[in-house]
Amino acid sequence: MIDLVEVSREYQRGTDHVKALDRVSLHVERGRFAALMGPSGSGKSTLLHILAGLDRPSSGRVVVAGRDLGGLSDDQLAKFRSTHVGFVFQFFNLIPVLDARGNVELPLLLTSLSKAQRREQAETALRVVGLAERASHAPNQLSGGEQQRVAIARAIVSDPEIIVADEPTGDLDAANAVEILSLLRELRQDFGKTVVMVTHDQRGAEYVDEIHQLDKGVLLDAHSSASAEGAS
Amino acid sequence: MKFLPFIWRNLLRNKLRALLTAGAIALAIALVCLLRTMPDGLNLMLEYFTSNTRISVHAEAGLVYPMPYAYLGKVRSVPGVEAASTWTWFGGVFRQEDGVSFPSFATEPETVGTVFEDWEVPKEDLEAFRRTRNGALVGEMTLEKYGWKRGDLVTLEGEVIPLALEFRIVGVIPNIPHFMLQREYIDQAFRSLDPQGLSWTGMIWARVDDAARVEPAMAEIDALFQNSEVETASETEKSYMKNFFGMLEGLVVVILVVTALVALCIVFIAANTASMSVRERFQELAILKAIGFNRRLLFGTLIAESTVLALLGGILGAALALGLTSVAREATEGLDNTLRPLASFVVTQAILVQGVFLALVVGMLSGVVPSLGATRRSVAETLREVF
Ligand SMILES: Nc1ncnc2c1ncn2[C@@H]1O[C@H](COP(=O)(O)OP(=O)(O)O)[C@@H](O)[C@H]1O
Ligand SMILES: [Mg+2]
């Protein structure tokens, strides 16, 4: 599902080069729940953005869902994201002027679905995350955990194969974090999604199938998570 | 179209700001619409006051120099001249303390109705004026000022012709202050002072049957009196106001410049709003990009936002201008005659369309720079700054 070969990403900062990613090769199978872990500044977000088609590598090959992203124009990348990838970020996930349903419906505006179909699909997604009865609440009327669940509903509403999440639990208390982690796990379990999550959260390790450690832009050997091994 | 609710929500994100901006645009568009009525309005006003087939004949030396009264007959015989009347300044004073507070002229009652057709004096009044030797046609403005009405007897004391005479008001001239008397009556009375009677006149007004014959008729009249004791100068009533016209052209240029500046000003107001509203949601825009909104779409929704706002302001402003001029027209209709020309300023459909269109352009222009800035930023970079 996700295949990165010798991917590097350099940033120019003044006169010096920052190597955010150094010849990273990453492989994630379809239907797996993968975690990217590592210290702050190790390149996790950069890697996530590249495999989700939000950013382009300085060199290397990125093939996701059967597409070589290097060959796509900006507009084609946007189209790729809207059909294949769902996003969950740490904060500011939701558009404050839209209610939960409106937020979840957003990606569907890019499709040819009718208004009724959009609404129905958004409500289904909200049901999956357990917030069907909160559909007409504005983001500021929802708790942090609920907001993240709405973000997850939005990420799955157009039924993409891949869900990427950048520190989705970073801003949450323990109980809410656990809820979000189980929800992501469910997406993989019940819907066969491929999920890639950046996390600091040691608890996260218990929910994922595999962990990829990054350090200073270099990918250390991947190892399967203990709990995942027990589970599968 | 399906993005419209989304655009609308974004617009209402800061209601006060949207309201203030729309209000500023509305006022500016109203101002532009009103300014746009001025060039046509001023012209119309001038037309209202003048007639293009009326010639004024006076002594070449100036208006205060008299011409022999016999000139009237000669002017009447010029081809194309339909009718002609003299005006001889009587200088009537009603109350000594007011001095000359309205113009009073002696004229020929048979022709005054034809020469000053545009005065729209009722037929019966003209007829009564002809029949009544001491009759007077009195302008509405003067009637109102002194509270006179038809049938009243009014005594005026002439400043130029030193006689105190009693006149009976037999008719009304709408909208002007003039007090018109029978020349015959003055002439007779004047014989007590001078057996020659009124042998002069200050001005002759001639009505020409066709606007195309005005120029030849004027040339012929002036030729008639060349080398005679008093030479004449003829002018159309409009050219009589030529100076005013010259001023008018300058005024129109000023008006157009001010209009352009006002338009520019609202572009800045709207652009300020657009850039504020874009700046405060870079992170949201980044989310939208991540979700798959491409640049064109994002740019489109942002531009649509500023355009909708400006358009609403524009429609409001155009309606305001229309309302103001309609109210002005209604208020002045028949009420206060000096204000009547205000009715000349009409917000036409074309002006309304132009106003709304201007708002549309303003909205699009004002959105371009901030929207471009927002859509050009790379997603990953924006996300980095925020997350
Ligand atoms: N746009 C950028 N300009 C310069 N340096 C950047 C930029 N984006 C990321 N970096 C650098 O790349 C490295 C990796 O960043 P990031 O992927 O955000 O790390 P993480 O998500 O693991 O904390 C950091 O040293 C960061 O400072
Ligand atoms: Mg990060």
Mean pLDDT across the stretch B321-335?
80
Q: Answer for the pair A108, B318: CB distance below 8 angstroms, yes or no.
A: no
Instruction: Tell me how close the Cα of A160 comes to any Cα of chain B, in angstroms.
Output: 11
Nearest CA in chain A to B287: A93
Instruction: Give the ligand with the smallest distance to the CA of A39.
Output: 1
Q: Work out the pLDDT band at B132, boundaries 50, 70, 90.
A: very high
Between residues A86 and B331, the one the model is more confident about:
A86
Domain boundaries, chain B: 3-48+247-386, 66-229
Is B287 in contact with A81 (Cβ distance < 8 A)?
Answer: no
Selected for mutation to probe chain A from B7, B291, B293 (highest A CB count within 10 Å) is B291
Computed over every residue of chain A, the mean pLDDT equals 90
Contacts of A79 in chain B (CB under 8 A): 292, 294
Confidence of residue B106 (pLDDT cuts 50, 70, 90): very high
Of the ranges A57-61, A72-76, B213-217, B248-252, which one carries the lowest mean pLDDT score?
B248-252
Mean pLDDT, to the nearest integer, of A214-222? 86
Q: How confident is the model at residue B275 (pLDDT cuts 50, 70, 90)?
A: confident
Our CA-based measurement puts residue A205 at a distance from the nearest CA of chain B, in whole angstroms, of: 22
- Tell me the longest C-alpha to C-alpha distance in chain A: 54
Confidence at residue B374, expressed as pLDDT on a 0 to 100 scale: 82
Give pLDDT, residue B339.
58
- pLDDT bin (cut points 50, 70, 90) of residue B173 is very high
Q: Which residues in chain A have their CB less than 8 angstroms from residue B294's CB?
A: 74-75, 78-79
> Which tokens in the block code for residue A121?
């699909």
Q: What is the DSSP letter of B30?
A: H
Cα(B172)–Cα(B128) distance, integer angstroms: 11
Q: Letter for the amino acid at B138?
A: V
B281 → chain A, closest CA residue: A95
Q: Cβ separation of B12 and A97 shorter than 8 Å? A: yes
pLDDT of residue A142: 94
Is the CB of A44 inside a 6 Å radius of any atom of ligand 1? yes
pLDDT over threshold 70, residue B48? no
Residues in chain B: 387
Are residues A55 and B379, on separate chains, in Cβ contact within 8 Å?
A: yes
CA distance B250 to B170: 43
Percent of chain A topping pLDDT 70: 95
Average confidence (pLDDT) over B15-44: 87
Q: Is the pLDDT of residue A230 over 50?
A: no
Please determine, for residue B319, whether its predicted confidence score (pLDDT) is greater than 90.
yes
Residue B273: the pLDDT is 85
Any chain B CB within 8 A of the CB of A49?
yes
pLDDT value for B342: 65
pLDDT in tens, B352-371: 999 999 999 989 988 888 88
Q: What is the mean pLDDT of residues B131-153?
A: 95
Contact A172, A145 (CB under 8 A): yes
Cβ–ligand 1 distance for A46 under 6 Å, the answer yes
Segment A35-47 shows an average pLDDT of 93
Q: What is the mean pLDDT of residues A49-65?
A: 94
Whether A96 sits inside 8 A of B6 (CB atoms) is no
Segment B259-283 shows an average pLDDT of: 86
Q: The tokens 């669940």 sit on which residue? A: A149
- B386 pLDDT more than 60: no
pTM, two decimals, is: 0.69
- Quickly count helices (H) and strands (E) in chain A: 7, 11
Contacts of B290 in chain A (CB under 8 A): 52, 54, 81, 87, 89
Reduced to 3 states (helix: H, G, I; strand: E, B; else coil), residue B70 is coil
How far is the C-alpha of A157 from the C-alpha of B89, rounded, in Å? 92
A60 Cα–ligand 2 center, Å: 21
- pLDDT at position B272, please? 87
Share of chain B above pLDDT 70, in %: 91
Whether the predicted pLDDT of A58 surpasses 90: yes
What band does B210 get if pLDDT is binned at 50, 70 and 90? Answer: confident
The DSSP 8-state label assigned to residue A229 in this structure reads H
CA-nearest residue for atom 25, ligand 1, is A41
B307 close to B367: Cβ distance less than 8 angstroms = yes
* The pLDDT value given to residue B387: 47
- In chain B, the percentage of residues whose pLDDT exceeds 90 is 52
pLDDT at A195 over 70: yes
* Mean of pLDDT values over B367-384: 80
Nearest neighbour of B290 by CB, restricted to A45, A87, A91? A87
Q: What is the pLDDT of residue B335?
A: 58
> Long-range pairs for B45-48 at CB < 8 Å and ≥24 separation?
B45/B341, B45/B344, B46/B238, B46/B241, B46/B244, B46/B245, B46/B248, B48/B341, B48/B344
ipTM: 0.90
Per-residue confidence (pLDDT) for residue B36, from 0 to 100? 85
pLDDT score at A231: 42
**A81 vs B10, B292, B383: nearest CB:** B292
Confidence grade of residue B381 (pLDDT, cut at 50, 70, 90): confident
| pLDDT of amino acid B18 | 92
